[in-house]
Structure 1
């Protein structure tokens, strides 16, 4: 009889007590402990088993589970190690998670964090009556409430460690799950500078000046720049997706996935690999995200976008939508199944995300939306990688995301697609002006350089074409043909469809008197540069090649053809 699958269950104790489906990752406990690092921060994509592993750590080390080692860990790899057995249930453990800290402003974020700290302190309420804890510290414990000031909040975990050491005579272990969630939300919400100051004080008090800390383990998605958050934490060991350490401790290996499929009588291994494989950790390829595999097993082999749709993907969408023309042009290559060589960094500087392509690719790689086939280290923390979209599930997510950029516009994006296929220029012009009117601001970074903003929109529009017409056309942009580089080319997959060339051109008041002149300039460029040459060389007759000039001045668009 197969084990029941508890989708979404992240409580290790509950999984073991009920004999739910579980893939043994307990070797991580021994590897981490014997590594002897004081404070470790491990970065992995979301839904990658981080919280379950942290719950496993708590169950192994915490005094709360003393004497339950055989029940919880019997038959698992860590329990074969006699030295590790003696450590089970022997330490006070503080386990908190920032996963729920998702707010639109700094005030609400701080309310969430203080509530988490107050709940953590409430678990050790017995310390208030412990005669081993000094009266001074007991008075300090009483000040830990949801309405406490920021200084008190920053020192909560330090204080708890001190009180636990006085009570038990042992230093405490701290487990902090999803440490970077508040920072992702702060960047998206525009209050990063406010929150980063508090987080710096919190990390300093908890992990640097905490004399009663035995060891600490943090998990997150991204390595936030050390100089902005982890200032002076010289003993901090950061393990990213580029690192070899603990490479198979999070996520499922291919062997683990295939064994699980055999257990549940599922045979389509090649299809599952296409959909859910692709993550690379260190030198370990063929890592699968646990969330998709668990849902796939539970739904008896039903293929869906489980991991990619398990969050709103809002920050990713925001960065790509408002990204530069260069970023969108490179992303077009990825969206069509290609790969690109790009520089990435291990750490994320949130302040750079709106202006640095390197920062965006680094975030997408760390988050699991992109994977790398190769990596060459330039220097510590900097790499040249060959990047591609991780797998089919992630590609579908990106396509849906791009499509949503335009779906809610009153300009009717579908109407533009129909008009384009029908060669109805008047309708095309009406629709694209409507789409631009209602979605243009979404492509605006709000930065100082506003000259690129119209082009950000129109290159985003090209991505939309790629998604909606992918079944009928091979769409490319900024490629060489004839004597220049065209903006957009639609090469038909079916002999019954016409090919399309589009040239975008911004109105320049110094060179042109009207948008009509700009349209003519765009059309003249298509002809003079012989952009149709690449299509003709593939056997497409010239009469089947439609040519459009799109002239734009901000949100206003005029279209002509030849």
Structure 2
């Protein structure tokens, strides 16, 4: 650690942090690495609260001529060791934009906020229009940029500002755009993706692609949105995702940096506890990367363990996708919550149009947002397909998902779910039926609330959502598994008690389907029991030493929100 241990929580301006002489881990070597890489436009994706904004502010303070002569900001830091970089400081016109605050799904409101940001950026340079370099036509065009400008003017505004700045400073311009994808995520949640993509696609094209006054472009975000969506025909874009080795230690803290910070703060005895809670992020070949927000918050709270990072956002997009996900997705979530990993083929670019129908698109998003980590990747020689082994990132993320799933069964649904579990333990089938129907009544639509008509969604979304709720509520006393091979077939759910003296349970979920030879819920229930016995679902439990009289077998027959258990 380069400076003292007094923490400024949430400070994202590099100059303010340095002027106040607050806690800072030196990441200025990113400047050297990025400059020497030489890419015209660089897009770096990292999870939220990983120092993206602070690093972009650092880059601005280093290169922008607004900060010319501010040696004090970098003295003693890594970048200041080489003379050639000291001579670069404060020598470029730099445009800095952030879309972090564009948090509306209404496209017209979205455009209004972006136009206001552009207008405020223009206001910073209005003084240059007094120069004889510009004529009345230039000044008129400059004045035309305002919060009420039309879309076409907004598309061109940053590019036009680059022309003015190049003409005035005699040097091409750097453009920094932070959190570029915030409005796109909001648009997807609001169902306005197409309109938003059309606007931002034009904006990015004029700003970064067809801009001859651009010296360097640096873009950050959480996701790598598919090229076809908003970066079409970009041939000068260097994309750095979480699996790239480039800039791997520039965003986030390494274990060495974290342990040194703990020592300096007098919390050296907490190293293993901090590792258990907050370690786990993997960037490229670099393991043991920590989320800065969690570490800084831990230091600020004098060593109090808490899910700091996962509590910094409502996680609306993630919650929506897992909640409405199909049975396969919920089954994998069960595995992940029990500390297991899974293997899947995916592309790291996020195709938002596929999120509702393609589980791999969701896993790609969860990898980009930091909720999953890639333990390893593999591909066949000569093949483009890449397979990822994925797991939950760390204990903090696991707690976040558990809290999120508990939120699905809130209020009366939570009470009914708890009462159902109590009745199940008491072998009270009548009460199991009563409370399960209450749970179904309150939560079935919740799991079936996507953009498609209900009849097109499999009812297993509800069943497996309910099982996920049990996984969370019974995690300390039961191992819960679903859709596994056992005996001669596949059961739906097995609850294996941690204490071998407790009861074990087998659940078979079946829905009343008009195309099967079933007329009533009683018929469905009878068929569920036939399947349990025919397929010998108890085989696994018996092999583990559970006697027959300790195993409970229940059929769950569903028709819409109605349920019959027996």
TM bracket, shorter-chain basis: over 0.9
**How many residues are paired up?**
559
Paired residue for 1:405? Answer: 408
Q: 2: distance between equivalents of 1:52 and 1:353?
A: 30
From the superposition, tell whether residues 37 and 361 of structure 1 become closer, same or farther in structure 2 (CA, over 3 Å).
same
Tell me by how many angstroms 1:301 deviates: 1.1
| SS of aligned partner of 1:372 | strand
Question: Does residue 35 of structure 1 match 2:37?
Answer: yes
Q: 2: distance between equivalents of 1:242 and 1:448?
A: 37
Q: Is the 8 A contact 2:95 2:174 kept in 1?
A: yes
Q: 2: distance between equivalents of 1:458 and 1:333?
A: 16
Tell me by how many angstroms 1:437 deviates: 2.1
C-alpha distance after superposition, 1:187-239 (max 9, x if no partner): 11110001000111001110111111111100001110011111121111111
Tell me by how many angstroms 1:115 deviates: 1.5
Tell me by how many angstroms 1:529 deviates: 1.4
Q: 1: distance between equivalents of 2:15 and 2:266?
A: 27
| SS of aligned partner of 1:450 | helix
Q: Is the 8 A contact 2:4 2:21 kept in 1?
A: no
Tell me by how many angstroms 1:451 deviates: 4.7
Q: 1: distance between equivalents of 2:167 and 2:300?
A: 47
Paired residue for 1:293? Answer: 295
Higher mean C-alpha deviation, range 52-61 or range 261-270: 261-270
Alignment of 1:15-30 (within 5 A): 15-30=17-32
Paired residue for 2:490? Answer: 485
Q: 2: distance between equivalents of 1:32 and 1:451?
A: 48
Higher mean C-alpha deviation, range 140-149 or range 306-315: 140-149
- Structure 1: unaligned runs, 5 residues or longer: none
Query: Of 445, 469, 478, which residue of structure 2 is paired with 1:464?
Result: 469
Paired residue for 1:350? Answer: 352
Q: 1: distance between equivalents of 2:255 and 2:295?
A: 11
Higher mean C-alpha deviation, range 185-194 or range 330-339: 330-339
Tell me by how many angstroms 1:175 deviates: 0.5
TM-score where L is the length of structure 2: 0.96
| SS of aligned partner of 1:205 | helix
Paired residue for 1:51? Answer: 53
Tell me by how many angstroms 1:140 deviates: 1.6
Q: Is the 8 A contact 1:200 1:230 kept in 2?
A: yes
Q: Is the 8 A contact 1:127 1:138 kept in 2?
A: no
Paired residue for 2:551? Answer: 545
Q: 1: distance between equivalents of 2:234 and 2:451?
A: 35
Q: 1: distance between equivalents of 2:37 and 2:58?
A: 18
Alignment of 1:316-395 (within 5 A): 316-377=318-379, 382-395=385-398
Higher mean C-alpha deviation, range 407-416 or range 184-193: 407-416
Question: Does residue 165 of structure 1 match 2:171?
Answer: no
Higher mean C-alpha deviation, range 280-289 or range 128-137: 128-137
Tell me by how many angstroms 1:456 deviates: 0.7
Higher mean C-alpha deviation, range 43-52 or range 404-413: 404-413
Tell me by how many angstroms 1:59 deviates: 0.5
Question: Does residue 474 of structure 1 match 2:475?
Answer: no
C-alpha distance after superposition, 1:59-97 (max 9, x if no partner): 00111110012x000000000011111110011111110
Q: 2: distance between equivalents of 1:2 and 1:89?
A: 26
| SS of aligned partner of 2:390 | strand
Q: Is the 8 A contact 1:454 1:555 kept in 2?
A: no
Paired residue for 2:133? Answer: 132
Higher mean C-alpha deviation, range 455-464 or range 143-152: 143-152
Q: Is the 8 A contact 2:4 2:22 kept in 1?
A: no
Q: Is the 8 A contact 1:409 1:439 kept in 2?
A: no
From the superposition, tell whether residues 124 and 258 of structure 1 become closer, same or farther in structure 2 (CA, over 3 Å).
same
Tell me by how many angstroms 1:34 deviates: 1.3
Tell me by how many angstroms 1:447 deviates: 2.7
Q: 2: distance between equivalents of 1:342 and 1:527?
A: 33
| SS of aligned partner of 1:94 | strand
Q: 1: distance between equivalents of 2:10 and 2:36?
A: 30
Paired residue for 1:535? Answer: 541
C-alpha distance after superposition, 1:43-66 (max 9, x if no partner): 111100000000000100111110
Paired residue for 1:150? Answer: 151
From the superposition, tell whether residues 134 and 377 of structure 1 become closer, same or farther in structure 2 (CA, over 3 Å).
farther
Tell me by how many angstroms 1:449 deviates: 8.1
Paired residue for 1:196? Answer: 197
Query: Of 422, 429, 437, which residue of structure 2 is paired with 1:425?
Result: 429
| SS of aligned partner of 2:228 | coil
From the superposition, tell whether residues 344 and 187 of structure 1 become closer, same or farther in structure 2 (CA, over 3 Å).
same
Paired residue for 1:80? Answer: 81
Tell me by how many angstroms 1:536 deviates: 1.5
Q: Is the 8 A contact 1:325 1:452 kept in 2?
A: no
Tell me by how many angstroms 1:181 deviates: 0.5
Paired residue for 1:262? Answer: 263
Q: Is the 8 A contact 1:39 1:215 kept in 2?
A: yes
| SS of aligned partner of 1:453 | coil
Paired residue for 2:418? Answer: 414
Alignment of 1:499-510 (within 5 A): 499-509=504-514, 510=516
Higher mean C-alpha deviation, range 220-229 or range 403-412: 403-412
Paired residue for 2:525? Answer: 519
| SS of aligned partner of 1:164 | helix
Tell me by how many angstroms 1:114 deviates: 1.4
- Structure 2: unaligned runs, 5 residues or longer: none
Tell me by how many angstroms 1:431 deviates: 2.1
Tell me by how many angstroms 1:438 deviates: 2.4
Tell me by how many angstroms 1:131 deviates: 2.4
| SS of aligned partner of 2:309 | coil
Q: CA RMSD in A?
A: 1.6
Paired residue for 1:241? Answer: 242
Tell me by how many angstroms 1:168 deviates: 1.1
Query: Of 446, 456, 462, which residue of structure 2 is paired with 1:442?
Result: 446
Q: Is the 8 A contact 1:346 1:381 kept in 2?
A: no
From the superposition, tell whether residues 377 and 50 of structure 1 become closer, same or farther in structure 2 (CA, over 3 Å).
farther
| SS of aligned partner of 1:176 | strand
Higher mean C-alpha deviation, range 53-62 or range 517-526: 517-526
Q: 2: distance between equivalents of 1:44 and 1:488?
A: 37
Paired residue for 1:559? Answer: 565
